[in-house]
Structure 1
Amino acid sequence: MSTQPAAYADDDDDIDPRRIRSRNRLLDAAAALLTTGGIEAVTIDAVTKASKVARTTLYRHFASSSQLLAATFERLLPHVTTPTPDEGSLRQRLIEILSRQAALFADAPIQVTTLAWVALGPTDPAADGTADEDSPAGSLRSRVVEQYRKPFDEILSSDQAREELDEFDLELAECQLVGPLVFARMTGLCTISRDQCVRIVDDFLAAHSRTRTEA
């Protein structure tokens, strides 16, 4: 990935119409390249040529091609809010959320590419070595975590879950539930159906039932 020593776009980018237009042109071009040619097609040269925006202007918005890719993924990622069901048993709520997440994977292939890039791609660390949540990559990572994790956090941290389940690691539990969806989609083995979501949830509940551990 190409890198240019430059800061993220400054605050003036939010109010200068010319900078807003140039940033949008860059992201439009990058999105078109990503959609038609994949990650490898999104290069600095290709984006500046397609957008007709100068390289120096690009680097005023994005310090590297990795930051450009992160911002492009975030633009393409569907803005889907998965509401947490307010009623029903713990089992019903988990099945509903997991089924919605499975449908999201099936209907929006860019989700899979985004997850793979976030997992394997650069994190644009800050100068002190910590992840910078204000960078495009940090923003994308936060968005992905929010979209996939928050609904499960709310259910598995509820009083209902504490009453029915044994002591468990929250992050590991979420991996046990969502992991099969990600693995199946990224490997192309299958698309997880609602019936399979039911089996995943039932297996999880059977393994963590408080009744089982107290028996």
Structure 2
Amino acid sequence: MTPRTAGIADGPGRPLDPRTVRTRQAALAAVRELLVESGLSGVTHVTVAARSGVGRSTLYRYWPDVPSMVSDVIAELRVAITPAPSGDLATDLVTLLNGTREMLHHPASERAMRALIERAGIDPAYTDLQSQLHAAGAAVIEQFLQAGIKRGDVPDDLDVELAVAQLAGPLFYQRLLADGEVSAEMVTKVVDAWIQVYAPGRGEGGS
């Protein structure tokens, strides 16, 4: 998932105005700060406008509701941590999941994800947002796995959806449900255990 305002143009055939970029950056920086300070309840169009200096009408034009603002904050962080493929599946999975580990410990994204878990069951807007973010995160892992299948690193009948759960699931459980730390060592162990089952002989991930 890419931030929804990333490709907004100022008009047909016209590139994004640098002022629009600055406005967007200021608004999302304010959202991140407010998430850290007050959690999801502290993020409103009023508070973001006051913190960023961006007018509420502009905020509503780019982000009609709070979930869309939170979505873009998480999407920006995910884009920043997504690595370029190296061509080695174990290395790529370790690098990718270490990015997920960073997101799970980033104050803004962690608070946003905890709030999503809490609200998704009672607010349809957050249910949709949770589904979108899950799909976007899974798609990144799936791309690396599909590349591994094409190279012959793993069997071509690999259950990709199950593999995503086996790789990312332990990290989300450890941080968001068990409230524990996700260490780089844990990431390597998760990948190594998965590689030993599905790609034996490939060696230990990240070592």
TM-score of Structure 1 vs Structure 2, range by shorter chain: 0.5 to 0.7
Residues of 1 paired with 2:189 and 2:134: CA distance? 28
Equivalent residue, structure 2, for 1:53: 54
Determine if contact 2:35/2:112 at 8 Å carries over to the other structure: no
| Per-residue CA distance 1:69-115 (angstroms, 9 max, x = gap) | 2122233446123344435xxxxx43x34433443344442354565
Q: Bigger radius of gyration, 1 or 2?
A: 1
Of 160, 165, 175, 2:153 maps to 160
Q: Which amino acid in 2 is paired with 1:27?
A: L
| Per-residue CA distance 1:135-190 (angstroms, 9 max, x = gap) | xxx6x666534544322332245323228xxx442211221122212211222234
Runs of 4+ in 1 over 6 A off after TM superposition: none
Question: By how many angstroms is 1:64 displaced?
Answer: 1.3
Matches within 5 A, 1:159-178: 159-162=152-155, 167-178=157-168
Equivalent residue, structure 2, for 1:123: 128
Q: Which ranges of structure 2 fall in alignment gaps of 5 or more residues?
A: 121-125, 201-207
Q: Which ranges of structure 1 fall in alignment gaps of 5 or more residues?
A: 1-7, 88-92, 125-130, 132-137, 211-215
Percent identical? 19
Matches within 5 A, 1:1-215: 11-12=9-10, 15-77=16-78, 79-86=80-87, 93-94=89-90, 96-108=91-103, 109-110=105-106, 112-113=110-111, 120=120, 121-123=126-128, 144-162=137-155, 167-186=157-176, 187-194=178-185, 197-198=188-189, 201-202=192-193, 205-206=196-197
Normalised TM-score (structure 2): 0.64
The alpha-carbon distance between structure 1 residues 114 and 79, as it changes in their structure 2 partners (threshold 3 A), is farther
Determine if contact 2:85/2:144 at 8 Å carries over to the other structure: yes
Q: Which amino acid in 1 is paired with 2:137?
A: V
The alpha-carbon distance between structure 1 residues 106 and 204, as it changes in their structure 2 partners (threshold 3 A), is closer
